[in-house]
């Protein structure tokens, strides 16, 4: 069950990365802060690959690997754009909950593109955990407009498609262990994303690009945490269907709610407790079927 440990480590590291990244948003803008995870994460991933290459068999990526990596890279950037649109048009709770529908779309896309098994028990566990997120969000759905709902679900589907692209790229490599394959695909993906973001910012957001480079010390921390988190996400993708990884990651929702209650003394409503229970049961059910 290495994928379980890898997923939990990735979720924890991603939380720290988000904290480091959020401090940059007000200084260099949303696009600049988003680009940091790619531009400043790439050197750390490339260094890790250079250190590992002499000791591990380095796979040779072919056209399928590059194609899947490009699909994952592009879908992740597009998903981020739809996420930002959703958050501007709707409350944070609704937007976050809508994007957490990703495991359901991920399971369906994985079955279609990668021919991964989608039995009733596994699908039931994924749907239960995802429904738990919608309930636990505490969002006032009666106030949710149709357009933000559509963009939020689209963001979740694109995040799911990006995970399928990453897993497809890893599986397409002809040789090598799960660690070196995950690391190689991470470097390929970050390279494509860093190039795309820098080119875009050079044309449309030069102020953000200059700000990102001027705050390189702060950006390095976010980049390092981002590369570390992504590596463990990719290790999970190398070992089990991406829907399993993303469903297990939903466990961070009840943990965050518990932390909010303990540390910040924030009240939790009965409906949120029911939603958290659904997530825990769904994740436990998934682990028995994985």
Which residues fall within 8 angstroms of residue 81, CB to CB, at 6 or more apart?
Answer: none
| Number of neighbouring beta carbons within 10 Å of residue 203 | 9
Cβ proximity of 106 and 123 under 8 Å: no
Phi and psi, residue 241, nearest 5°:
-50, 140
| Tokens read off for 244 | 């399993």
The pTM assigned to this predicted structure is 0.83
- The pLDDT score that the predictor gives to residue 21 is 66
| Tokens read off for 190 | 């970050």
**Counting every residue, how long is the chain?**
290
Rounded distance between C-alpha atoms, residue 253 and residue 242, angstroms:
18
Give SS3 for 78. Answer: helix
Cα separations in angstroms, 239 against 3, 5, 109, 242: 6, 11, 18, 9
Task: Tell me how many domains the chain contains.
Answer: 1
- The pLDDT score that the predictor gives to residue 263 is 44
Chain center to CA of 289: 23
* Rounded (10°) CA dihedral 151, 246, 122, 155: 10
Nearest residue to 234 (alpha-carbon basis) of 174, 282, 173, 163: 163
- Full domain range(s) for residue 171: 2-289
| Tokens read off for 220 | 């390095």
Which residues fall within 8 angstroms of residue 113, CB to CB, at 6 or more apart?
Answer: 164, 168
Cβ proximity of 41 and 234 under 8 Å: no
Rounded distance between C-alpha atoms, residue 228 and residue 47, angstroms:
12
Helices 216-239 + 2-39 axis angle, to 10: 150
One digit per residue, pLDDT tens: the chain, 290 residues? 899 999 999 988 877 776 676 667 677 777 887 888 899 999 999 999 999 999 998 899 999 999 999 999 999 888 877 876 776 655 555 666 667 777 887 888 888 888 887 788 888 888 888 888 777 766 555 555 566 677 777 888 898 899 999 999 999 998 889 999 999 999 999 999 999 999 999 998 888 888 888 888 878 888 898 899 999 999 999 999 888 898 888 877 666 666 555 444 555 566 767 777 888 788 888 877 76
Rounded distance between C-alpha atoms, residue 15 and residue 17, angstroms:
5
Cα separations in angstroms, 195 against 14, 17, 120, 155, 190: 22, 21, 41, 22, 8
């Amino acid at each position: 069950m290495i994928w379980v440990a890898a997923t939990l480590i990735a979720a924890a590291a991603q939380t720290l990365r988000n904290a480091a990244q959020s401090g940059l948003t007000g200084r260099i803008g949303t696009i600049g802060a988003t680009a940091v995870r790619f531009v400043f994460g790439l050197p750390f991933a490339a260094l890790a690959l250079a250190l590992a290459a002499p000791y591990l068999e380095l796979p040779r990526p072919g056209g399928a690997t590059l194609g899947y990596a490009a699909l994952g890279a592009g879908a992740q950037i597009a998903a981020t754009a739809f996420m930002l649109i959703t958050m501007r048009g709707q409350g944070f709770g609704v937007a976050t909950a809508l994007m957490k529908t990703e495991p359901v779309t991920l399971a369906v896309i994985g079955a279609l593109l990668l021919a991964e098994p989608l039995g009733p028990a596994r699908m039931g566990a994924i749907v239960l955990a995802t429904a738990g997120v919608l309930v636990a969000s505490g969002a006032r759905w009666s106030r949710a407009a149709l357009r933000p709902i559509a963009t939020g679900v689209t963001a979740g589907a694109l995040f799911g498609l990006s995970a399928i692209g990453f897993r497809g790229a890893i599986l397409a490599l002809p040789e090598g262990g799960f660690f070196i394959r995950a690391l190689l695909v991470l470097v390929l993906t970050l390279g494509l994303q860093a190039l795309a973001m820098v080119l875009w910012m050079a044309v449309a957001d030069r102020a953000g690009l200059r700000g990102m480079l001027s705050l390189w010390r702060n950006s390095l921390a976010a980049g390092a945490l981002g590369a570390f988190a992504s590596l463990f996400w990719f290790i999970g993708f190398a070992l089990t269907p991406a829907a399993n990884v993303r469903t297990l990651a939903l466990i961070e929702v009840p943990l965050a709610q518990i932390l909010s209650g303990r540390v910040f003394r924030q009240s939790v409503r009965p409906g949120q407790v029911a939603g958290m229970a659904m997530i825990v049961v769904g994740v436990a059910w998934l682990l028995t079927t994985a």
